[in-house]
Structure 1
């Protein structure tokens, strides 16, 4: 089993430039949406915490990046996330396609409100 990264910088360092750039932008998007959140590694992936509780996780994969979990939202929100659903609690953004950073910011905000 590979050793868990010490922090988000170490996690990002394990990816090729193109994926690292997307993951870095997701990180920045969440930091701007949740400026009071702290960073951690939980379950082996980057995590943002509020009040000591995990709020949002993101991860890089071979063909996509993912965001976890999916918050509850109104009908418009559900429609917005539907193309990215990849299972219960997982959103998948395929590499080579535009990443909806505004939606990611909205998700982080909703998760913080619902915690």
Structure 2
């Protein structure tokens, strides 16, 4: 077990990424709390998603930026070496060919910093919206 020296939370993995203290209340707050070199790509993804899903609500769910309308549509989150983009497993299958340049696993797309394809992110987001391919809020 690893214990964060700042907040005292315990984790299985050493240097586990997490939020110390109060969780962010907005996506902007989430992004601003990230390392400065990661913020531009995170804001770029946010802008792309806002353009693709203007009718979706921005919120924080599971401590991640989330786009929502009656259901969670998709999430994204900062990691050490990439941005995790979470449109769900069906989206990863649907866009398999276009996602060959990224590491993918089930419903996760790992986007390396500096390699954000806003067109593809928007295309996936609209597909999730149009097909209602998102999970129900529980």
Q: Could you tell me the TM-score, scaled by structure 1's length?
A: 0.87
Instruction: Name the structure where helix makes up a greater proportion of residues.
Output: 1
1:5-53 CA deviation, whole Å, 9 max, x = no partner?
Answer: 1111110111122211100110000000011111000010000012x21
Asked which structure has the greater CA Rg, the reply is 2
Q: Secondary structure at the match of 1:80?
A: coil
The count of residues paired between Structure 1 and Structure 2 equals 110
Moved over 3 A (4+): none
User: Which runs of no fewer than 5 residues in structure 2 stay unpaired?
Assistant: 1-8, 10-19, 133-138
Extract unaligned runs of 5+ from structure 1. none
- Tell me if structure 1 keeps the 8 A contact 2:87–2:125: no
Q: TM-score normalized by structure 2? A: 0.73
Q: Distance in 2 between matches of 1:105 and 1:18?
A: 23
Q: Report the Cα distance in structure 1 between the residues aligned to 2:115 and 2:61, rounded to whole angstroms.
A: 26
> RMSD across aligned C-alpha pairs, in angstroms?
1.5
Higher-RCO chain (CA-CA 8 Å, sequence separation at least 6): 1
Q: What SS does structure 1 have at the residue aligned with 2:104?
A: coil
